[in-house]
Amino acid sequence: MSDSSSTESLVAILRAEVAALAPGDRLPSSRDMIARHGVGPVTVSRAIAQLAAEGLVVTRPGSGTYAAPRRPDRGRGAPDTSWQALALSASPHDPGRGQGGPWPQEDTPPAPPPAGALALCGGYLHENLQPTRALGAALARAARRPDAWHRAPAAGLAPLRALFARLSATGAGPEDVLITGGGQGALSMLFRAVAAPGAPVLVESPTYPGALAAARAAGLRPVPVPVDAEGLRPDLLAEAFAMTGARLLYCQPTVHNPTGAALAPGRRRQVVDVARAAGAFLIEDDFARHLGHGRPLAPPLAAEDRDGTVIHLTSLTKPASPSLRIGALIARGPVMHRLQAMRRVDDFFIARPLQEAAVELLSTPAWERHLRALATALRERCTALSGALARELPDLAPAHPPAGGLHLWLRLAPALTDTALAEAARAHGVCVDAGTGYFPAEAPAAHLRLAFAATAEPGDLAEAARRLALAVRSLT
């Protein structure tokens, strides 16, 4: 009889014997098994190892082999993953520890809206506002290119890098551009590349929840810096750098998410100077560069930076489609070399067909026509929702509608909580975003974020405001 068949036979015998034992009962010694079953010591060792791998026995050196605790029978459709809690808690890189809680859940997708509900939530354009025909045509042309499925350079296609350099208005060259898989992937890469686990990262308060999630997943500690109607406060920023020793700042100076504020002209140079004096990088999230409402937006902070302090982030997902996962990082100096090296470790390169489609889209007049039409539509929708709120909820309506972006930010009365109002609004057929998740620490007041680009028609916004007013009255 071969060694393998002897082992298999002994495993079957011992499996049956173990099933008759109580958890913790000791199995016969290896010497007894050899004598009883007429096998060699190697066969016994292999059989015990197989049973241990199956979780049926545990071995204790110097003591013996024992029947393992029984695992509950959960059926084929309900696997037992409880073991993972122990395995994950033993990980040396656990950003949940030291943060006062588990891994971040800010990016957990919300439950689907009830039937008939109107959406004042989310961060993307309704499909009616997306350039679907231009996207389809661009993808079709890209697919016909003979090299469409060739490997792409790690930094991205040269034509796409040149397009982003030109459209960013930062004065950068193609060599300063790294193509990324959208804005969120770029944030994850940046936080891991620039700061070590456990380090502080300064963020506006409130700020984009996806940035908080990416920072915490990288093991960083978000530290809030308050904002006001003119954006980030340079005086408090300098104090935060001095108190924490941070070497990284994340901010959205052009159109802030969620407040919609723009960093005041007199503060723009100050913010960059404060970061440079601290020896820190400034991540400029310029997600709304193509989401203006018709008025010129301020130039990027990176346009005035020549020393590599500012790392500029932009993306096509907001102005085009959530599935056009193409973005760009613009950086100068050794940090770009580190980001390129990280790209080779993470995923080698961004899928070439998607890059080719982005080149086609950005190179045609259809893109400029889309941006002009989008600016008009966003301005009309922002005005419509602001007017509806002024009629239905005058105490909550924002005093100054934003010059760009997709949202309004409402401060609630002290008697209201954002989570309770969000639940009540959902019950009245309108979905909104509670403001709590936008704060890296305790929120000074309750807020709601309302999206005006997520409904199918602009006329839906007045009805959504009416339903939100009913929800408010149900709680007061």
Q: How many CB atoms lie within 10 A of CB 23?
A: 11
264 confidence band (pLDDT: 50, 70, 90) = very high
The distance of Cα 415 from the centroid of its chain, to the nearest Å, equals: 32
pLDDT in tens, 84-123: 665 565 555 544 443 434 444 444 555 667 778 899 999 9
pLDDT in tens, 40-62: 989 998 999 888 888 888 888 77
346: CATH: 3.40.640.10
CB 203 within 8 A of CB 223: yes
Return the pLDDT at 72: 63
Same-domain check for residues 329 and 466: no
In a domain, 148, yes or no: yes
Residue 180: C-alpha distances to residues 158, 323, 340, 431 (Å): 13, 13, 10, 31
CB 152 within 8 A of CB 464: no
In a domain, 182, yes or no: yes
Number of independent structural domains in the chain: 3
Same-domain check for residues 313 and 386: no
Residue with the larger pLDDT of the pair 425 and 78: 425
Average pLDDT, the chain: 88
C-alpha torsion 190→407→454→382, nearest 10: -140
Return the pLDDT at 4: 67
Average pLDDT on 237-260 reads 94
**SS3 of residue 60 by DSSP:** strand
Return the pLDDT at 316: 95
Same-domain check for residues 393 and 270: no
H or E stretch covering 222: strand 221-228
454: CATH: 3.90.1150.10
CB 187 within 8 A of CB 211: yes
pLDDT in tens, 20-31: 998 889 999 999
Residue ending a domain, among 67, 83, 106, is 67
Average pLDDT on 201-218 reads 94
Same-domain check for residues 53 and 144: no
Structure tokens at 228: 């006001």
73 confidence band (pLDDT: 50, 70, 90) = low
Same-domain check for residues 190 and 287: yes
Same-domain check for residues 174 and 258: yes
Return the pLDDT at 88: 60
**SS3 of residue 293 by DSSP:** coil
Long-range pairs, 160-167, Cβ under 8 A, ≥24: 160/326, 160/355, 160/358, 160/359, 160/362, 161/328, 163/358, 163/359, 163/362, 163/363, 164/314, 164/328, 164/330, 165/330, 167/289, 167/314, 167/362
In a domain, 323, yes or no: yes
Could you give the percent of the chain with pLDDT greater than 90?
68
Same-domain check for residues 225 and 333: yes
Cα separation, 387 vs 402, whole angstroms: 13
Same-domain check for residues 270 and 153: yes
Phi-psi group of 22: left, alpha or beta (phi > 0 → left; psi -120 to 50 → alpha; rest → beta) = beta
Structure tokens at 62: 């110097």
12: CATH: 1.10.10.10
Residue ending a domain, among 48, 67, 86, is 67
Q: Is the predicted pLDDT of residue 307 greater than 50, yes or no?
A: yes
Q: What is the Rg, in whole angstroms, of the alpha carbon atoms belonging to the chain?
A: 29
In a domain, 73, yes or no: no
Same-domain check for residues 198 and 323: yes
In a domain, 286, yes or no: yes
Host domain of residue 52: 3-67
- Biggest alpha carbon–alpha carbon distance for the chain: 91
Return the pLDDT at 82: 61
Cα separation, 103 vs 85, whole angstroms: 12
Q: Is the predicted pLDDT of residue 209 greater than 90, yes or no?
A: yes
pTM score, two decimals? 0.79
In a domain, 108, yes or no: no
Cα separation, 182 vs 162, whole angstroms: 17
Cα separation, 124 vs 91, whole angstroms: 35
CB 365 within 8 A of CB 131: no
Return the pLDDT at 182: 87
Residue ending a domain, among 363, 397, 428, is 363
Same-domain check for residues 417 and 313: no
- On the 0-12 / 13-18 / 19+ scale of CB atoms within 10 A, 108 is exposed
Return the pLDDT at 77: 58
In a domain, 426, yes or no: yes
Cα separation, 238 vs 254, whole angstroms: 20
131 confidence band (pLDDT: 50, 70, 90) = very high
CB 168 within 8 A of CB 330: yes
Cα separation, 174 vs 230, whole angstroms: 32
Return the pLDDT at 99: 42
In a domain, 166, yes or no: yes
Q: Is the predicted pLDDT of residue 138 greater than 90, yes or no?
A: yes
Same-domain check for residues 385 and 324: no
Q: Is the predicted pLDDT of residue 426 greater than 90, yes or no?
A: yes
Same-domain check for residues 205 and 316: yes
